[in-house]
Structure 1
Amino acid sequence: MKELQAAAYEESLDRGGSQVGHPFEEIYPETAQTIRLLKGAFAEPLADAEQNSVDLPASIGRFQVQELIGQGGMGVVYRAIDPDGQGPVAIKVSRCDATIDRRVRRRIAREAIAASTLDHPGIVPVVEVGSSPETGHAIYLVMDWCEAGDLGKWMRYQSKSIDCCTVAAIGTQIAQAAEHAHRNGIVHRDLKPANILLFPKHDTSAKTGLPWTLRITDFGVSHLGDQEFSDTSSGLIVGTPLYMAPEQAMNLSSATEPCVDIFAIGAILYHLLTGEAPFAADSYPGVLLRLQQGQPDPVSSIRPDVDKDLEAVCMKCLQAEPANRYRSAAELAADLNRYLDGVSITLRPVS
């Protein structure tokens, strides 16, 4: 509901009417401020003189910058300290100059709007959205700092097979967070281990003993249910091939529906269980070809010790036809929880 109201508010801004006293601003003042800021920032590119600076700024807004974490085509990421006592944060600073096309600028806006709309313990929140002289007045996004890294990094350092209960617990947390996004009209479209951050926690799960909470990040290619932010009409294939649903690879209209996230969660489960992605190949075209040809090898053909119930859950997510997958991420999470509780799942194990 909030996402639909945000889309209507954004449309009213595009019409240029006066927004004084708009109901959305009264109900969701912070989200409204974010949308107004992004609308203004991406209307025109920055002047050449304000393009990227290679110098490490001492501060960005009120945040004290400590180090450069990474940089890419869309901008840079810093580690910084919040002087208000909130601890370390990550700051993404966008590139909004004339060398960046409209689609990339929209991706930055999409991420900010999506994350500011969602409020769930399994989703990394955007703490603040701003524009600062230190960034050349480019937009920056402030997010919780994750010391433990991402799920992909954790997987690479595993020296033995990951036990089934741990895999099921990881899948449950991801599915629950995805369900929250779907209920708010947002489809992530790029769920993968690198976009699942691990936040350490002091209390461990009674079922699994996981030492961290998983949180989804990077909503840069998410579908927000409005045409302005949709990439499907441009012919652009959105997502990461190793975890991409067939309809994404073929750029079908269903590539904007929750079923693509369910497929991606299944691909993550498969990778956790077998040590490789379901459609792994030596090249990008090879991955897409395998993806379009049909089902991956059964989990048990690679790792025979995996419980049949958990294999059935994983393979249902990876069905080529969206209608044959779980109808919702909530149903997927419920079956994974049944498995963890030792209760029969809703599926018949694969033969």
Structure 2
Amino acid sequence: MRRYRKKAKIDHQTKPDTKFIKSLGKGAYGSVDLFSYKKDDGTAFYNAVKTSDSEDYNSIDREFRVLTELRGCPGVVQSFGNSLLQETDSEGKKVYKMAIEYAAGGNLTEFIRVNRRLSDSVIKDFTRMILQGLVSVHGHGYVHCDLKPANLLLFPRYDQETWYCSYELKISDYGLTVKAGEETVCWETSSPFVGTPLYMSPESVRDGTTVEKTLDLWSLGCVVLEMYNGKHPWLGSGVDDIKARLLGGNAPEIPETVPCDARLFMETCFAREHGERGSASELLLHPFLTGERKVADEAAGGVRRRVGLRIRKPPSRFEDTITTHGPKQKARLRKGPL
């Protein structure tokens, strides 16, 4: 089946003056490292670089072309350059590299682990940003297929006057992304899930070959649940057990301690019939995300109040971590002692 019309260009030019800083992590389709790049004036800036070997070329090629199409879209991690960079590793094997913006705040999985229970306001702010990213992705006809906290990156923005650290959250890792209604390349009989089993919907198991945009909305419900719970949905269950529960009509359990509006939001995401989940744009208007904002605006005379939270481990201050009075659509977290 023809999914894309042409391959991404490969850049064989000599790479710029770079310095390896540290490894940021490894995944199923490659590794990500942090590099500094020297400018002509002697200063440096920082980029993350994703590297895949020739066996995983199709994945990084797909991701680069999707990110190229989504450049400038809100809620989407940004890539750089007009083509993939082709190099040879220390073992003489061909590898392909893609430069993307560096998220100094890490990913949402790490953020939940370090800060433990997140406040209701922070969860709502993060949920809005995820949905804004999904509006961008879905608006271009794509389904992300692997929405989970590990693929949600945090970009800190510092305000020197107030000492607030605000976070901008963006969706990353588009290696499994496909066009809505098309077949997915990752489904196998031995692993009957479109993406990561813990965050996948019933139809990803039941159908297995084609995907729709509402698949990402089930995954979003799992992410919101994890922000409230502090632990993975289906924790302690194996793949076969998760499959059986999904096919049996079950959804992840929502604790009684979760606020009513958040519960209703997640129940919408977990609708058995995927058409009943609505769309990312419609979920942005859900009372879970609009109720607090209306009350806050009225209390502040129309001015949105800040969301404060002490950070247990503030992110490193690299030059690409911008000092700014960032836009309102950022979760604001006050720096402070442990």
Query: TM bucket by the smaller chain?
Result: 0.7 to 0.9
Note if 1:131 corresponds to 2:85. yes
Shift of 1:175: 0.7
Is the 1:78–1:92 contact (alpha carbons within 8 Å) kept by the matching residues of 2?
A: yes
What is the distance in 1 between the residues matched to 2:236 and 2:145? Answer: 21
Q: CA 1:86 to 1:233, structure 2 compared with 1: closer, same or farther past 3 Å?
A: same
Q: Which runs of 5+ in 2 are unaligned?
A: 296-338
CA distance in 1, matches of 2:153, 2:27: 19
Q: How far apart are residue 260 of structure 1 and its match?
A: 0.5
Matched, 1:280 2:235: yes
**In 2: Cα distance, 1:226 partner to 1:307 partner:** 34
Shift of 1:265: 0.6
Question: What is the CA-CA distance between 1:61 and the residue it aligns to?
Answer: 4.3
The aligned residue for residue 136 of structure 2 is: 180
- Structure 2 CA distance for partners of 1:68 and 1:339, relative to 1, 3 Å: same
Q: Are the structure 2 counterparts of residues 303 and 86 from structure 1 closer, same or farther at C-alpha, using a change threshold of 3 Å?
A: farther
SS at structure 1 position matched to 2:49: strand
Segments ≥4 residues shifted beyond 6 Å: none
Q: Which has the higher strand share?
A: 2
Give the C-alpha shift of residue 121 in structure 1: 3.2
**Equivalent residue, structure 2, for 1:328:** 279
1:3-59: CA deviations, max 9, x gaps? xxxx7xx53x5xxxxxxxxxxxxxxxxxxxxx4416x99xxxxxxxxxxxxxxxxx9
In 1, are the aligned partners of 2:135 and 2:281 still within 8 Å (CA)? yes
Whether 1:89 aligns to 2:66 is no
Give the counterpart of 1:165 among 81, 98, 121: 121
Report if the CA contact (8 A) 2:74-2:132 is conserved: no
One-letter amino acid matched to 1:280: L
Name the aligned partner's letter for residue 329 of structure 1.
A
Tell me which of 39, 52, 75 is aligned to 2:30.
75
Query: Are residues 1:156 and 2:113 paired?
Result: yes
Q: Does structure 1 retain, via aligned residues, the 8 Å contact 2:47–2:99? A: yes
**Preserved contact between residue 70 and residue 77 of structure 1 (Cα < 8 Å):** yes
Are 1:246 and 2:183 counterparts? no
| TM-score, structure 2 as length reference | 0.73
| Cα distance in structure 1, aligned partners of 2:78 and 2:44 | 14
Distance 1:203 1:121, change over 3 A: farther
Q: Offset at 1:281? A: 3.5
Q: 8 Å contact 1:278–1:296 — kept in the other structure?
A: no
Distance (whole Å) between structure 1 residues aligned to residue 98 and residue 131 of structure 2 = 25
Are residue 308 (structure 1) and residue 260 (structure 2) matched? yes
Equivalent position to 1:108, from 54, 60, 71: 60
Q: CA deviation at 1:200?
A: 0.2
SS of 1:264's partner is helix
Matched residues in 2 for 1:173 and 1:219: separation? 17
Unmatched 5+ residue regions in structure 1? Answer: 1-6, 14-34, 42-58, 344-351
- Report how far residue 79 of structure 1 moved: 1.3
Whether the aligned pair in 2 keeps the contact of 1:127 and 1:141 (CA below 8 Å) is yes
- Mapped partners of 1:106, 1:120: distance in 2: 23
Amino acid at match of 1:90: A
1:73, CA displacement in angstroms? 5.3
Is the contact made by 2:18 and 2:38 (CA closer than 8 Å) also made in structure 1? yes
Cα 1:332/1:67, change in 2 over 3 Å: same
- Kept after mapping to 1: 8 A contact 2:152/2:169: yes
Distance of aligned partners of 1:115 and 1:87 in 2 relative to their CA distance in 1, 3 Å threshold? same
CA distance in 2, matches of 1:286, 1:91: 36
Report the Cα offset of residue 203 of structure 1.
5.1
- Tell me the residue number matched to 1:23: none
Partner Cα distance (1:319, 1:36) in 2: 38
Change in Cα spacing, 1:108 to 1:251, as seen in structure 2 (3 Å) is farther
Choose 184-193 or 81-90, whichever is displaced more.
Answer: 81-90
Matched, 1:195 2:151: yes
Identify which of structures 1 and 2 has the higher relative contact order when contacts are C-alpha pairs closer than 8 Å and 6+ apart. 2
